[in-house]
Amino acid sequence: MTAPGALAPQLRRTPLRRVAGLDRLALAGGVLLALIVLAALLAPWIAPYPDDGGSATHALDALLPPSGAHWFGTDQVGRDVLSRVLFGARTSLFIAVAVLAVSGVVGVALGVVAGYAGGWLQDVIMRVTDVFLAFPALLLSLALAVVLQPSVTTVIVAIAATWWPWYARLTASVAASVATRGFVDSARCLGVPAPLIVLRHVLPNSLTPVLVQLSLDGGGVILTAAALSYLGLGAHEPTPEWGLMVQQGQTLFTTDWWAVTFPGLAIVLTAFAFNVLGEGLRARLAR
Name the residues that contact other proteins, by CB under 8 A: 54-60, 62-63, 76-78, 149-151, 232, 236-238, 248, 250-256
Which class for 180: exposed (0-12), middle (13-18), buried (19 or more C-beta within 10 A)? exposed
In the complex, what is the shortest distance from the CB of residue 26 to other proteins, in angstroms, rounded to a whole number?
Answer: 38
Terminal Cα distance for the chain, rounded: 11
Q: What is the DSSP letter of 10?
A: -
Choose between 64 and 95: whose C-beta lies nearer to other proteins.
Answer: 64
Choose between 10 and 255: whose C-beta lies nearer to other proteins.
Answer: 255
Choose between 59 and 190: whose C-beta lies nearer to other proteins.
Answer: 59
Contact 90, 241 (CB under 8 A): no
In the complex, what is the shortest distance from the CB of residue 166 to other proteins, in angstroms, rounded to a whole number?
Answer: 31
In the complex, what is the shortest distance from the CB of residue 72 to other proteins, in angstroms, rounded to a whole number?
Answer: 17
In the complex, what is the shortest distance from the CB of residue 221 to other proteins, in angstroms, rounded to a whole number?
Answer: 23
Distance CA 142, CA 223 (A): 13
Contact 249, 266 (CB under 8 A): no
In the complex, what is the shortest distance from the CB of residue 240 to other proteins, in angstroms, rounded to a whole number?
Answer: 11
Choose between 3 and 60: whose C-beta lies nearer to other proteins.
Answer: 60
Contact 245, 252 (CB under 8 A): no
Q: Could you tell me which of 181, 178, 165 has the C-alpha nearest to residue 110?
A: 165
Choose between 54 and 118: whose C-beta lies nearer to other proteins.
Answer: 54
For residue 74, list its beta bridge partners.
80
In the complex, what is the shortest distance from the CB of residue 118 to other proteins, in angstroms, rounded to a whole number?
Answer: 46
Choose between 77 and 192: whose C-beta lies nearer to other proteins.
Answer: 77
Q: Could you tell me which of 75, 225, 239, 92 has the C-alpha nearest to residue 154?
A: 225
Choose between 55 and 67: whose C-beta lies nearer to other proteins.
Answer: 55
Distance CA 105, CA 195 (A): 16
In the complex, what is the shortest distance from the CB of residue 76 to other proteins, in angstroms, rounded to a whole number?
Answer: 5
190 contacts: CB under 8 Å, gap ≥ 6: none
- The residue type at 223: L
Contact 278, 211 (CB under 8 A): no
